[in-house]
Structure 1
Amino acid sequence: MSGAQTTSRNLSAVLDDRAALAGFARLSVAMVITNPNAPDNPIVYVNEAFERVTGYNRSSVIGRNCRFLQGQRTRKEDVDRVRAAVENGRDVSVDILNYRASGEPFTNRLVIAPITNDDGKPLYFLGLQKELRDPAHSHEHLDRSFEVIRSRVQEDLSLILASISHPNPGRSQVDPVHEIEALPRRLDCLQLVYEELQASELSGGDSQIDFGSLMTRVAANVTYNESRPGIRFSQQLERLHVSLDASVRLSLVLSEALSNAFSHAFDGLDSGYIELRATQLAAGGLRFLIADDGVGIPQNINWPSTTTVGGRLISSLLDGLDATINVVRGAAGTIVMIDVPMDPYDTLQEGK
């Protein structure tokens, strides 16, 4: 399923969704993403929980096949089940004996699901892992939580990975690390959305998120990782409430646009200024604006460009919200203004 075709889904309609995602948000569930279209299906992303549980840091596992987690006592039939599922592009759940970097064995509940294109071909595989400290105990609740997390994360990842999968003549399609170099930042957005969901006061079946608070955290994550000396940043954000699905899309758009400003607005300059604003519109929609006083977008460049991963992602995300983007070249710098014409939560309710 592509980002543009992903349908809205009311998370609160499924019992225990909030509790399940809360567990994921606290990083108790390890997540791995692999690329089956590159030689030996290498890892292209792991989250913090994976590093904590296995003892392997991200830099040491990116580009490797997951088999390094196997050891002498790992059952061949479990490995064969995982291999068969990957070869046939289907889901699988298995309790498998893995080994930490220290050599210590542990039993791992592993769920694997493909992220597919419109033709059903796997683009990537999502792996969720949870250590089972008592393998003999019934894990019905864990099964339920894993299904909720798998479904939600699989849907959200499709928004990101569908844009990455499109051919880009300027890049090698066999280099998964280069192709999705911005994936950790994008997945951080999903993590922040799920954490904000846990923090929200949900009642009466509503699944709204304080988007002003979420924007603050997304912006902080981008500025921490991508700002540099001499660049000032300020923000003015109203308290806004939007649906979970809209929050995922809008936070990703914000991350892409703000990252682009930090990366390109001040080429050749020693200092600069970036401003972020968000406000509720009188007609019930919302607007957020990113302005900089940098070198400005060249006249011959249309942004967002569908020739880049980030540009395709922004376009797909905005299409799903029926939102508009206006890019203005000022006397100094660039202003990016994004309008969502209706309250995203109301839009979700009307689509029920």
Structure 2
Amino acid sequence: MTSVLDDSQALAGFSRLSVAMVITNPNSDDNPIVYINDAFERITGYQRSTVIGRNCRFLQGPETDQESVRQIRSAIEAGEDVTVDIVNYRSTGESFMNRLLIAPINGVNGKPVYFLGIQKELRDEELDRSHDETRLHLDTVCSRVSKDLGLIVSSLVDRGEDATPVNEEDRRKQLRMLDVLPRRLECLQFVYEEMKLADEQWNRDGVDLGSLLSRISHTIAHNEGRPGVRFVSLVEPLEVNLETAIRVALITFELVSNAFQHAFDGLDQGYLELRVNRLAAGGLRMTIADDGVGIPAKKAFPPPDSVGGRLVSALLEGLDATINVARGAAGTVVMIDVPVGFTDYRE
């Protein structure tokens, strides 16, 4: 067995079928759950509507080891990582052994804004192996997701917003940030699933950006589109590394979502296009164009006063990318150039 798993190997198991994820907010009373993924629902039998806002202790029961509970509590109070194998209970009352990894997601002041929990039900053949492939797999997944989630959180918070809320306005700010997290987490999951597909079908080290962005953009169009607005996606099959894929995917999510939400206010019809292509001089160009109401001439873009705008700015900086915004007689054209290299996997 190797001592280190790469991202491709680790994320191959992070699908809606195997690894559960839960996020809690330690800055609210009793550290309540603010997000769960589909796998959490499947493993525990609890639906989102019954767990959001509750502390995770409802998963405990008569056979839950209290020393493991103490370890979890101490780590959360100290803002540290912890890993335990703990007996939990499904909604039916059936017990199961759960390998649980918890990691803090720190804000700009270095204190936890959220805690990420990654969990995997341990089958009989895994119960006697405390340092096996399952532990290594989950350690790598937890580290990867913590890093990516930290990137999002650090971009969404203003200075001081990640502190413990002291008044109603602070609480409203945190609630607004919670509102925007779930869909961005789903965007990350698209990236992880594309990495899994690449590893299974092509034995590749990179992510097919064309396939990934097509999935993301058409999912947005399905969820946020409306009659009269036509959407076209023209994305070349470009393979990039995981870090680039995550950042470009999140930028695409932000800008395409923003266009659907704001570009066609008061209009019955419209046209929105996403185009991503390889540049002859190297790198890629993303163009998002619409024929809508346009961005006001004096308004900065990305807007620094919005969580999405701050996230896009941080992502662009991390890619060393450039952004140009053209305001025409009708609509807006946003053009982003990203200086990345590619691996041509096509035979």
Q: Does 1:15 align with 2:5?
A: yes
1:150 corresponds in structure 2 to: 142
Q: Does 1:76 align with 2:73?
A: no
Encode CA deviations 1:196-220: one digit per residue, 9 max, x unaligned: 11222599x9732111111111112
Alignment of 1:51-70 (within 5 A): 51-70=41-60
Q: Does 1:303 align with 2:301?
A: yes
CA contact (8 A) 1:189 1:255 kept: yes
Quote the offset at 1:26 in angstroms: 4.6
Q: Which of residues 95, 115, 126 in structure 2 aligns to 1:105?
A: 95
CA contact (8 A) 1:293 1:333 kept: yes
1:94 corresponds in structure 2 to: 84
Quote the offset at 1:224 in angstroms: 2.0
Rate the CA distance shift 1:230–1:60 in 2: closer, same or farther, 3 A. farther
Distance 1:345 1:83 in 2: 46
1:163 corresponds in structure 2 to: 155
CA contact (8 A) 1:111 1:129 kept: yes
Moved more, 211-220 or 180-189: 180-189
Give the letter for the 1:227 counterpart: G
Distance 2:81 2:119 in 1: 14
CA contact (8 A) 2:16 2:38 kept: no
Q: TM-score, normalised by structure 2?
A: 0.89
Moved more, 251-260 or 334-343: 334-343
1:10 corresponds in structure 2 to: none
Give the letter for the 2:171 counterpart: V
Q: Over aligned residue pairs, what C-alpha RMSD do you find? A: 2.5
How many pairs are equivalent? 334
Q: TM-score, normalised by structure 1?
A: 0.88
Give the letter for the 1:50 counterpart: F
Q: Does 1:174 align with 2:164?
A: no
1:131 corresponds in structure 2 to: 121
Is the partner of 1:123 in helix, strand or coil?
strand
Distance 1:149 1:286 in 2: 28
2:27 corresponds in structure 1 to: 37
Q: Which of residues 281, 284, 302 in structure 1 aligns to 2:282?
A: 284
Q: Does 1:326 align with 2:324?
A: yes
Q: Structure 2 stretches of 5 or more lacking a match?
A: 162-167
Give the letter for the 2:42 counterpart: R
Q: Does 1:195 align with 2:193?
A: yes
Give the letter for the 1:98 counterpart: N
Distance 2:169 2:94 in 1: 38
Quote the offset at 1:119 in angstroms: 4.3
CA contact (8 A) 1:324 1:339 kept: yes
Moved more, 282-291 or 60-69: 60-69
Quote the offset at 1:112 in angstroms: 0.2
Encode CA deviations 1:40-59: one digit per residue, 9 max, x unaligned: 21212111101111112223
Encode CA deviations 1:174-194: one digit per residue, 9 max, x unaligned: 354432212122111211111
Distance 1:168 1:92 in 2: 26
Q: Structure 1 stretches of 5 or more lacking a match?
A: 1-12, 347-352
1:252 corresponds in structure 2 to: 250
Distance 2:199 2:82 in 1: 34
Quote the offset at 1:342 in angstroms: 3.8
Distance 1:230 1:214 in 2: 26
CA contact (8 A) 1:113 1:126 kept: yes
Give the letter for the 1:165 counterpart: V
Distance 2:304 2:31 in 1: 27
Is the partner of 2:13 in helix, strand or coil?
helix
**Taking CA–CA contacts closer than 8 Å with sequence separation of 6 or more, which of the two structures ends up with the larger relative contact order?**
1
CA contact (8 A) 2:295 2:327 kept: yes
2:110 corresponds in structure 1 to: 120
Distance 2:179 2:248 in 1: 20
Rate the CA distance shift 1:329–1:32 in 2: closer, same or farther, 3 A. same
Distance 1:36 1:108 in 2: 22
Identity %: 56
Distance 1:201 1:44 in 2: 31
CA contact (8 A) 1:283 1:342 kept: no
Distance 2:226 2:233 in 1: 17
Distance 1:299 1:16 in 2: 46
Q: Which of residues 270, 273, 280 in structure 2 aligns to 1:272?
A: 270
Q: Which of residues 37, 42, 55 in structure 2 aligns to 1:47?
A: 37
Rate the CA distance shift 1:130–1:227 in 2: closer, same or farther, 3 A. same
